[in-house]
Amino acid sequence: MCGRFAVTLPPDAMAQLFQAVPGNDLPDVPNYNICPTNRVHVVVSDDSRRLTAMRWGFLPHWYKAENDGPLLINARAETIAEKPAFRAAVRERRCLIPVTGFYEWTKDAEGNRLPWYIHAAEGAPLAFAGIWQMWGHDDPVATCAIVTTAANQPMSAIHHRMPVILSPGDWPLWLGEAGHGAAPLMRAAPDELLAWHRVDRAVNSNRASGAELIAPNGEGAGGHL
């Protein structure tokens, strides 16, 4: 799964990277502790690509309120085409979610949650595969979820799931610009793509902020997934 992530790339740099027109009301960056229900940057494509903001937490059309059911921040690649909440979106409303890195947790012998920061080994931004949907009638809200898949072998040492990470060559197909047949893109990233390090437990709080959240804390620092 993916439950927290960081974005440090400025909106104009994001827009240039994805060749997208930026919206006027994008979330503030940098943000080193993006949590579920926060507004996040999302790239969508209709006649052209747009960089826009959406609520992280997909809301099915039958929810009468934002808390009317489970918080759907992730969608499993293995079942996304079958789940009533997601099946129309994965066919018709796919998006890219730019991130700088994301967090996962392991536990020590005493059961304490130990956070890890996971990022591209070469330092480049990552593009998560996402789906989106408008929710509500009077004041519609754009909502999204991150597509996840079984972890690759190195990542499985930290968590058994990981986000679907798309390379630039796959972006047009995922966004629907290059025809149909995006299902094969919902796979684990290459083993060599990611690196990781332990970070301070301060990030365990969803109220924590600041660049120090992604700084190595010296425990288990370094390595490649």
Catalytic residue among 2, 35, 122, 144: 2
Distance separating alpha carbons of residues 98 and 135, to the nearest angstrom? 22
> 35 catalytic, yes or no?
no
Return the biggest CA–CA distance within the chain: 53
Q: Which of 131, 20, 8 is nearest to 75 (CA)?
A: 131
Selected catalytic residue, list 66, 92, 95, 104: 104
Active site residue 144: no
Active site positions, annotated:
2, 104
